[in-house]
């Protein structure tokens, strides 16, 4: 391929188009592979992807990331897949949006599948704002671990680790600034600010769409710069305000 054309989900205004060359695909899928690793997803796991394989990049990048991890992918593309797929293919991980996962849990309950016996060990939630309450709810229903991710369509990908102490930012690939609401200064650690992103490229590499000081319209706060219990050394507490 020469390059692929994508669109943001367009929650605010018109969708924006952006372009990815193969080097972008490799770098993006590396970000997703790191997050899989931080959740403990590995060879032998079977991951059912409920995110859609559409103009945004998530589902495709997860599939590519799985190749790096030696993980099996079940590309359902939506959470309304037949419940028999859980019986037939025994997925160990389900990736989807929180409301869809809650609906899926209800359908499974109605179908008489005991969460303890389903074999599903982890739920990965992404693509929208995420509250502790919604983490606990599907977790109770399913008796499994629930992890949060944040990804803007343009290519950030931050995820929690097993310590669940905030989202790790891949600082070698993305530079993140947090601005005050008036966009005239940076916020201090612990204060919420608007996420402004700049892509970082290794020397000699190229990209389809280069982002410099890109306004995600999302907000977050730096919760710690200390080394995390998992060994990584950056975390922020994600609060997605606007999506996109």
**Binding footprint of Zn ion on the chain (CB under 5 A):** 161, 163, 228, 230, 232
- Between CA 76 and CA 101 the distance in angstroms is 13
Q: How far is the CB of 179 from Zn ion (least distance, A)?
A: 25
Nearest approach, Cβ of residue 156 and Zn ion (Å): 17
Bridge-based pairing state of the strands 122-125 and 93-96 = parallel
CB of 237 within 8 A of CB of 220? Answer: yes
Q: CA 28, 29, 31: angle at the middle one, nearest 5?
A: 65
**Backbone phi, psi, residue 177, to 5°:** -110, 145
Q: In terms of CB distance, is 83 or 163 closer to Zn ion?
A: 163
Return the number of the residue (50 or 235) whose C-beta is nearest Zn ion.
235
From the CB of 110, what's the least distance to Zn ion, in Å?
Answer: 36
In the complex, what is the shortest distance from the CB of residue 11 to Zn ion, in angstroms, rounded to a whole number? 29
H or E stretch at 69 = helix 58-69
Shortest Cβ 162–Zn ion spacing (Å): 7
Q: From residue 207, give the alpha-carbon distance in Å to each of 9, 122, 194, 195.
A: 21, 33, 24, 21
Instruction: Give 55 or 165: the residue with its C-beta nearer to Zn ion.
Output: 165
Judged by beta carbon, residue 30 or residue 154, the one nearer Zn ion is 30
Biggest distance spanned by C-alpha atoms of the chain: 55
**What DSSP designation does 43 have?**
T
Which residue, 86 or 125, is less far from Zn ion as judged by CB?
125
């Amino acid at each position: 391929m020469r390059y692929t054309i994508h669109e943001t989900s367009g929650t605010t205004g018109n969708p924006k188009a952006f372009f990815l060359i193969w080097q972008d695909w490799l770098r993006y899928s590396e970000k997703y592979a790191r997050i899989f690793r931080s959740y403990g997803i590995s060879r032998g796991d079977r991951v059912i992807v409920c995110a859609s394989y559409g103009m945004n990049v998530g589902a495709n990048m997860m599939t590519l990331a799985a190749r790096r991890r030696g993980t099996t992918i079940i590309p359902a593309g939506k959470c309304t897949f037949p419940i028999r797929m859980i019986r037939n293919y025994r997925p160990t991980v389900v990736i989807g949006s929180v409301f869809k996962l809650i609906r899926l849990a209800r359908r499974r309950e109605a179908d008489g599948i005991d969460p303890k016996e389903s074999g599903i060990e982890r739920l990965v939630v992404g693509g929208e704002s995420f509250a502790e309450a919604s983490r606990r709810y599907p977790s109770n229903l399913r008796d499994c671990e629930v992890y949060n991710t944040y990804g803007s369509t343009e290519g950030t990908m931050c995820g929690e680790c097993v310590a669940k102490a905030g989202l790790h930012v891949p600082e070698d690939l993305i530079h993140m600034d947090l601005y005050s609401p008036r966009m005239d200064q940076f916020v201090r650690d612990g204060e919420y600010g608007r996420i402004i992103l700049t892509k970082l490229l290794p020397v000699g590499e190229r990209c389809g769409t280069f982002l410099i000081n890109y306004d995600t319209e999302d907000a977050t706060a730096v919760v710690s710069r200390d080394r995390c219990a998992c060994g990584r050394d950056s975390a922020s507490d994600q609060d997605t305000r606007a999506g996109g």
